[in-house]
Every structure is written in structure tokens, then in C-alpha cells.
A = this chain, B = another copy of it.
Amino acid sequence: MMSRKQSGFPSDESFSSDEKRGDAMVATPSEVMTVVAARMLQERTVCFVGIGIPSKAANLARLTHAPQAVLIYESGTIGTRPSVLPLSIGDGELALTADTVVSTSEIFSYWLQGGRVELGFLGAAQVDRYANLNSTVIGNYQSPKVRLPGAGGAPEIAAQAKETLIIINHDRRKLVEKVDFITSAGYLDGGDSRERAGLKTGGPTAVITDLCVLRPEFQTRELVVTQLHPGVTRQTVAEATGWDVRFAEDLTQTQVPSDLELSTLRELERQTALAHSNDAAGKTSLTRNNPTAEVTRP
């Protein structure tokens, strides 16, 4: 397989420039991961989106097969249709292209906890064999080896979205037997322990990495590899996984990203890079004018 940057904590969602470019119409592992995640977002789905690859995947879906997907960002933007990817969760672009912009407290109460979100995309520093997520600390909570950014909106997305998808680079330090800290509940100790803890929603239905897709096995709820990306072997996956990972009997092969998927993704990234370099040069795309007309145009 192609070279894959083994990025450290916690800036694991940034891309090296060679990954960004790739060869024309030959997808990098990161691109495959993004495309596979995008494919799982069905048309008209109401999706709670985090920054980084989740945002990239959700917008790729919107620009290809799911033009009417409803994207919600925790900053308060509902039905947003950014033309470039936001660098932060509260970029002005998100507000400018949204159906409506509400307070952050309303997003979490009426929209997420209210049960209106069908799909949540989550990233994390670690995911374990029962799909629990850690974005809090590596090591001990009281005296951490690495202090990670923390929970953000993740615990409630994991608990309240009808289903969640997890996107993470495949690496033994990241796909671990047991997370150091459960920030966001997956299937806890497996079996029916999620239900027994009082969680009412479905939980994670897939972990999408740059090597493969893992899904919770029926009953045990242990993550097993169900789908290998092009050119990836079982051995590569096994070596990059922190537990003795199993493979589904009906293991499938990821369909190679189409030219449309790849070109759309790359154009989105190109426009994003361009827009953000404009920012850096001090140019202002959010022009100042009458506040009454400037935001919330559908």
C-alpha cells in the first residue's frame, strides 16, 4: 500500500501535503477513508458533523449522492451547505450557508437530545474493540501522559444520535484493546451492556479507517473487519490493530473510489485551501453590511 502518515496525537486529522495531492484518479488511503465514510451518509439523512474528516466526508456526500442531506454543526448551524470546508466548527461560511442558525444550547437540547439527528460522525484519539471512544487523556486521568482536547460534543452525539459512524486512522495506538478513558460510550463491555447502562440509541454501526471498515458483531458487539480497502491485506490490518482482530466471514472489498467521487473531493479540498490562503492573506470574504440580510440565506 501507499505511504501513510502515522500522525501522532492529537493533530491526527490534519493531512500531509502529499496525501492531499495524490495521483490523479488514484486514491490515497485517506481519500478512500473519506469516500467510504461519505457513501454511508444516505440521501436526506440528518447528520451531526464534527470538524476534520467527518466534515469532509459529509460534504462530499452532499456534493455527490446526497444533495439533500441535512448537516448540523454544533456551533448552531442547521442545514448548512458550505462551498469550502470549515477550518473550525464555527466558521462564518457555516452560518452564511445555513437554513437557520440557533444557539449552541438549542443545538444540543432541541436538535441532538431532541432525537432529531439520525447520524453522528465521530473521530477520537482511541477506539477500542467495543467501539468506545477516548478523546480525553492518554494515560491516567489525574496525571495524564497526554492531555487530549476532551469531550466536546462527543458523549452526547454518541448517546443521542440514532446511529454513529467513527472515522479514525488505523494504528495500534489508536485501535486499542481498551481505551484509557471512555469519553463517549460505544458498546461498553460488549453484549447488551450499552442497553443495560440506559443508553437508548443504536450506537456505532461502523468504524471507518484508512485500511478497512469494522462493524460490531451481532450479540457480542465486538468490532470485526467487514470490508478491506483496495490493496490492503488482512495482515496489514491485524498488525495495525491493538487487539486480536477478527474478520467477518463475508468479508468484502471496498469499491475503488469513482472518478466523480475523487474529483469532487479534490476540488473541495482545492477550493478550501484557496479560501484559507486568502484568509491568511487578510482578505475578507465576509463583507460587512446590513446584518439583517447577510446570514441564513438558504
* Partner-B contacts on A (CB < 8 A): 292-293
Chain B residue at smallest Cβ distance from A291: B292
Q: Which residues of B contact A292 (CB under 8 A)?
A: 292-293
Chain B residue at smallest Cβ distance from A292: B292
In the complex, what's the smallest C-beta–C-beta distance from A101 to chain B, in angstroms?
15
In the complex, what's the smallest C-beta–C-beta distance from A160 to chain B, in angstroms?
21
Q: How far is the CA of A259 from the CA of B295 in the complex (A)?
A: 51
* Sample (2) of A-B pairs whose CB atoms are under 8 Å apart: A292-B292, A292-B293
Q: Which residues of B contact A293 (CB under 8 A)?
A: 292
In the complex, what's the smallest C-beta–C-beta distance from A110 to chain B, in angstroms?
11
Q: How far is the CA of A293 from the CA of B290 in the complex (A)?
A: 11
Chain B residue at smallest Cβ distance from A293: B292
In the complex, what's the smallest C-beta–C-beta distance from A30 to chain B, in angstroms?
43
Q: How far is the CA of A37 from the CA of B293 in the complex (A)?
A: 43
In the complex, what's the smallest C-beta–C-beta distance from A90 to chain B, in angstroms?
23
Q: How far is the CA of A292 from the CA of B292 in the complex (A)?
A: 6
Q: How far is the CA of A292 from the CA of B294 in the complex (A)?
A: 11
In the complex, what's the smallest C-beta–C-beta distance from A289 to chain B, in angstroms?
13
Q: How far is the CA of A291 from the CA of B293 in the complex (A)?
A: 11
Q: How far is the CA of A122 from the CA of B292 in the complex (A)?
A: 37
In the complex, what's the smallest C-beta–C-beta distance from A106 to chain B, in angstroms?
11
Query: 2 closest A-B pairs (Cβ-Cβ)?
Result: A292-B292, A292-B293
Q: How far is the CA of A293 from the CA of B293 in the complex (A)?
A: 10
Q: How far is the CA of A293 from the CA of B292 in the complex (A)?
A: 8
Q: How far is the CA of A293 from the CA of B291 in the complex (A)?
A: 11
In the complex, what's the smallest C-beta–C-beta distance from A252 to chain B, in angstroms?
50
Chain B residue at smallest Cβ distance from A290: B292
Q: How far is the CA of A211 from the CA of B82 in the complex (A)?
A: 67
Q: How far is the CA of A292 from the CA of B295 in the complex (A)?
A: 12
In the complex, what's the smallest C-beta–C-beta distance from A286 to chain B, in angstroms?
18
